[in-house]
């Protein structure tokens, strides 16, 4: 997929507000509504646009504990462990990583008891050798990458 100026303008407009109509995007970017519609359809078909979502302030919903948990996995079982970690409700992201740990995950928990139970649970999983949990005290920046 070629990323030209038109696609960049459209994607940046959607990153600002994914609820914009084709007509609003066209007006904001100086591109015709038909071009916007065709380009968005193409970006969706190519998998560049994977979906549309709402940004939520999880603190306001009671998720006070945001954590980074690093996991060391025994040899050859990475995909299996990642799948199991990904299935948990409180896990919002799972990454393959380099360094001392094989997997880094981001989790959101409502309270310390919930976090404690989760960490103790994953430490019993087969093929998990070690975990390291870091509490995120304050989010300074968390936003999509503009093109």
Candidate CATH numbers 3.40.50.970, 3.40.50.300, 3.55.50.30, 3.30.70.920; the one for domain 58-136 = 3.30.70.920
Per-residue DSSP letter, 59? G
Inter-residue contact 90 to 108 (CB < 8 Å): yes
pLDDT at 1: 67
Residue range(s) occupied by CATH 1.10.10.10 in the chain: 5-45
Token pair recorded at residue 135:
């509490």
Q: Which of 47, 49, 54 is nearest to 10 (CA)?
A: 49
Structure tokens at 125: 């999983």
3-class SS at 113? Answer: helix
Collapsing DSSP to helix, strand or coil, 67 comes out as strand
- pLDDT tens-place values along the chain, 147 residues long: 678 999 999 999 999 999 999 999 999 999 999 999 999 999 999 999 999 988 889 999 999 999 999 999 998 789 999 999 999 999 999 999 999 999 999 999 999 999 999 999 999 999 999 999 999 999 999 888 888
Choosing among 1.10.1040.10, 1.10.10.60, 3.40.50.620, 1.10.10.10, the CATH entry for 5-45 is 1.10.10.10
């Amino acid at each position: 997929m070629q990323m030209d100026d038109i696609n960049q303008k459209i994607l940046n407009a959607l990153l600002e507000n994914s609820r914009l109509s084709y007509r609003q995007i066209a007006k904001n970017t100086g591109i015709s509504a038909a071009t916007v519609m065709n380009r968005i359809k193409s970006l969706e078909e190519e998998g560049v646009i994977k979906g549309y979502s709402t940004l939520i302030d999880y603190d306001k919903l009671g998720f006070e504990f945001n954590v980074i948990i690093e996991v060391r996995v025994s040899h050859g079982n990475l995909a299996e462990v990642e799948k199991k970690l990904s299935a948990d409700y409180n896990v919002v992201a799972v990454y393959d990583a380099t360094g001392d740990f094989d997997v880094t995950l981001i989790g959101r928990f409502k309270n310390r008891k919930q976090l404690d139970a989760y960490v103790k649970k994953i430490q019993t999983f087969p093929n998990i050798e070690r975990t390291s949990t870091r509490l995120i005290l304050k989010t300074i920046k968390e936003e999509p990458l503009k093109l």
